[in-house]
Amino acid sequence: MSANPFHLAWFGAGGFGVKSWNKTWSGRGGKDWADPQLWIDLAQGLERARFDFIIIEDSSYVPDAYGGTAEAYVKSATATPKMDPSVLAPLMSHFTEKIGIVPTLSVSEHHPYGLARKINTLDHMSKGRTGWNIVTGSNDNAAKNYGLDGWLEHDERYEMAEEFFDLACRLWTSWDEDAVVLDEKTNTWGDFTKVHTVDFQGKYFSSRGPLNAPQSPQGLPTFVQAGGSKAGRKFSSRAANAIICGVDGGPAAMKEFREDVRAQAAGHGRNPDDAKVLFLVHPVVAETDEEAWAKRERQKAFGEAHPELSLLHLSRHSMIDFSQWDLDEVIPEGTTTNGHQQMMKQAIGKTPRQIANKGPGGLELVGSPDTIAAKMDEVMQEVGGDGFLFANFDLNRRFIAEMADGLTPALQRRGLVREEYTHDHFRDNLLAF
Ligand SMILES: Cc1cc2nc3c(=O)[nH]c(=O)nc-3n(C[C@H](O)[C@H](O)[C@H](O)COP(=O)(O)O)c2cc1C
């Protein structure tokens, strides 16, 4: 590999549900929306390309923030339906051998004991390839599904996440590594002196422990986190092995973000190289640059004709009805949210149309596999590392093949990404370079 190899991961956006409904290359995606096979194909395709991991995005509510009704969301299958990522995860790991599988589970919707148990089980079953995308929740509709009026205030959610994380880690390590002895002579399966209660009493959670299963192959799962706000960055730099982010402003802003979270990781006493920063991108690849740009133009034209499709997301993440403003009216200073802070900050001062048409933000990666590979190399050299998180918006088998069998081999030919996994466990592969 080259002197500066980087990592590739995949953000399974839109949750486990309808994919690429009603589009040219969606196959039976609209009809077979509940069939996990597309995700199994995705996992196998990305493993063939030696990706580090796949995140299964999640939220657990039917949104109605845009226009005050669920109509636009249900009609366009936006952010609904979504099925439980922790049920999909073992299917994906069962049909693969090396790639990391990362379900999204919210600290606001689980108790640490239940979550620790679920993730421990998944890590055992995947033989050390399970991650956890740690999220805190944003939309109060989800809180109401759990019998609450709303979520805690934004920064306090991160305070709670810190406590949740600490307790879960204590539970994951409540069995000593050598607690299972399997001594047939003495008929002893496990040594109870190596299984400990945790007796945790916190502000938000308490638990006696121990977990009712031994440590999983990784001990702690591989942690993935996407906090973009001040409180979010503080948490991710303390906890995450992979910090995922959508950064607007090109390589200079990406570099600033990475340097900030690496410095904060060092401040927490961590080796910053143990917190890989992966930047969200949406590559548009085709046979030639001209064909790729024609494809991008078609995407833009579709977006411009349907600005509400982007605004649906912004509304649900912020709980602010973006249909209240005319498409060309500036979003006023002082508009605040208890949802995603970074997204809101980027919206203020722009018009809904500008936001909708801004495209994926960050980098435009458009071209033939070789053109995009060269651009990714150039950007990583400027930013300093650590890789990219590809996002699917129209997930279909054609797109999987373009990324896994078109773009990634071009990166591999340049020595920019791995050609083989060198370890069995997810975290070891992620931190290998
Ligand atoms: C790439 C990426 C993936 C994310 N995945 C999810 C997800 O699956 N579920 C969720 O509730 N939030 C998700 N988020 C939101 C983050 O957890 C976080 O709330 C957001 O980045 C805003 O940061 P803040 O919470 O620090 O304001 C994601 C964010 C990014 C950038």
Nearest CA to ligand 1 atom 14: 226
Please report the pLDDT score of residue 226 as a whole number: 96
113 known ligand binder: no
Task: Fill in the amino acid letter for 334.
Answer: G
Please report the pLDDT score of residue 329 as a whole number: 94
Cβ atoms within 10 Å, residue 288: 11
What spacing in Å lies between the alpha carbon of 248 and ligand 1's midpoint? 15
Indicate whether residue 116 lines ligand 1 (CB < 6 A): no
Atom of ligand 1 nearest to the CA of 11: 1
Residue spans per domain, the chain = 7-430
Indicate whether residue 388 lines ligand 1 (CB < 6 A): no
Quick one: 7-430 is in which CATH superfamily? Luciferase-like domain (3.20.20.30)
Distance CA(14)–CA(310), nearest Å, equals 12
CA 301-309-16 angle, to 5 degrees, is: 115
288 known ligand binder: no
Distance CA(36)–CA(379), nearest Å, equals 35
Longest CA span, the chain: 78
What spacing in Å lies between the alpha carbon of 135 and ligand 1's midpoint? 6
Indicate whether residue 11 lines ligand 1 (CB < 6 A): yes
Nearest CA to ligand 1 atom 9: 58
Atom of ligand 1 nearest to the CA of 134: 17
Mode of pairing for the β-strands spanning 188-190 and 200-201: unpaired
Please report the pLDDT score of residue 240 as a whole number: 98
Please report the pLDDT score of residue 326 as a whole number: 95
- Pocket probe mutation, ligand 1, options 10, 53, 55, 57, max atoms within 8 Å of Cβ: 57
133: which strand partners?
104, 224
ipTM, two decimals, is 0.98
DSSP SS3 for 132: strand
Separation in Å, CA 168 to CA 119, 232, 247, 418: 10, 18, 29, 32
Please report the pLDDT score of residue 87 as a whole number: 97
- Residues in the chain where the model's pLDDT stays below 70: 1-3, 360-362
